[in-house]
Structure 1
């Protein structure tokens, strides 16, 4: 199948200069605005603007798989569950489906776990090249003492996490304390060392799209490698209007500095058609370079099930039961 190609996952920022951040520029932050009605109108048109069919749809879905941070963040996580998840990350699409599509070597972008499961995940993924991401800094609320949040990052890096998903203090955004947000993010970035950092904005709790835009800019100024919508634990997670705001903040930052910053929508993305919409949005707003897993990730778990079902339908013409596509 000539339109389908294998994509090998790479460690984020491996081939691009890492965003070093900038001095905090409060005048620039104050100039950032968001036209909510215009953003919502544009976002409403997105699901119907791109239509890909047959082999092309399958190729886009395979691309989406390589951009998934396969995630388990439950209080009842066990080593067995994490090892099954890692096995699924190594081979997210059944071998017979890959053979029928003429591809091989498909893997997910990362496996995301709590700190206690880092060593288990690192061991289970040994030799695969798939990085382990750890949620940190008092995830999901980010309300533990500051020195403990910094120490948590350092311990996770020491345990083998190559990516750290931190949560910002929402109160700094809601009170417009941009200096505090910048200093916090900068400290988190420094604690990560060589591990790259995804800044979770928890956009559903920030009050306005303007706040989302300003928080995105400040986190990038402080050295974030990725900006991410949500923890997945809020009542409102990734949405297209929020994504449009954050993606355009990334574009403006790149235009001003030349540094690439990645984007990760998380929470509520569970259907294959939604994955294609987000990929199309990235292509439209940022271009093909941002369709690679070093600059784009989905924070998801159930999304993979639906993608695998859609790929089997592409091959056989029939939908299989969802239980035929277990997560792990």
Structure 2
């Protein structure tokens, strides 16, 4: 289970009135999001501290058809030692790790063995990435991943329920998936790039949290449009509204489209402004962006040495 001192989201009974009341001012959201990158500037020690925090919140991921046990073991080695030891010693964080590793079900036992309980192992499940396999098989996949040692499950919702406005069906399916997760924390992937409108994103966020999701996540990383700032703003404000209704804090995970250090800092700044400092911890925020780590490493080397480095100086594992 994810290390946290917070009570787990127990969800709420489905209330169609809550969903119907969701409103989104798209132009205002886009204006707010457009101002963020231009007015966020961190330098020197402050920048290094934020980048180190970003590393601690990365779900280091491999989700390829040619994944092998060797590749997964290298990924886990990188997650446990994400930045060269000399650089971590220089910034005073010798024990820094990523937030978790994320793999397909087949690779869960390999990852569990490799990390030895030091960080969580997350499994993508429920017919990832499309979520269109028979529902009983999606539930069984969750149960088998948990039995194999995964302590976090990234499920994918049925997009058709959002696109047809069948919110009760979305709630019921998500609640059953949450029950199948048992003690494992569940991240609900909304595939926001395929939901059509920001209002749909906001409503899907609210329904999946009502159904007990521990995190809401933008994307599988396989869509043509993944995490964006407007979508992140919508989902963060849905989290804030849900906390006001229920008292439960729900985590957020932007996935795909965040590959540069400056982008990571922008997302963290938005998170801090919208949800507050408590969300700046791995139990309430993750980046689903493995390529981000390489750029952060280069920035940290520049901070320590004054020089940028080539990629081969930061091996994958």
TM-score interval (norm. to shorter): over 0.9
1:201 equivalent to 2:190? Answer yes
| Matching residue of 1:107 | 97
User: Which deviates more from structure 2 when the two are superposed, residues 117-126 or residues 314-323?
Assistant: 314-323
1:143 equivalent to 2:135? Answer no
1:55 equivalent to 2:79? Answer no
* TM-score w.r.t. length of structure 2: 0.99
In structure 2, runs of 5+ residues without a counterpart are none
- Displacement over 4 Å in runs of 4+: none
Equivalent positions of 1:15-164 (< 5 A) are: 15-128=5-118, 130-164=119-153
| Matching residue of 1:8 | none
1:228 equivalent to 2:220? Answer no
Note the alpha carbon deviations across 1:25-58, whole angstroms, 9 max, x for none.
Answer: 1011001011111101100001122211100000
| Matching residue of 2:272 | 283
| Matching residue of 1:258 | 247
* Aligned counterparts of 1:58 and 1:132: Cα–Cα separation in 2: 26
* Offset, 1:127: 4.2
* Offset, 1:326: 2.5
Among 290, 305, 315, which residue is 1:301 paired with?
A: 290
* Offset, 1:327: 2.3
1:173/1:206 contact within 8 Å kept: yes
In structure 1, runs of 5+ residues without a counterpart are 1-10
* Aligned counterparts of 1:207 and 1:244: Cα–Cα separation in 2: 16
Note the alpha carbon deviations across 1:279-317, whole angstroms, 9 max, x for none.
Answer: 101100000000000000000111000000000001111
The alignment's C-alpha RMSD in Å is: 0.8
* Aligned counterparts of 1:158 and 1:42: Cα–Cα separation in 2: 43
1:311 equivalent to 2:312? Answer no
1:302/1:327 contact within 8 Å kept: no
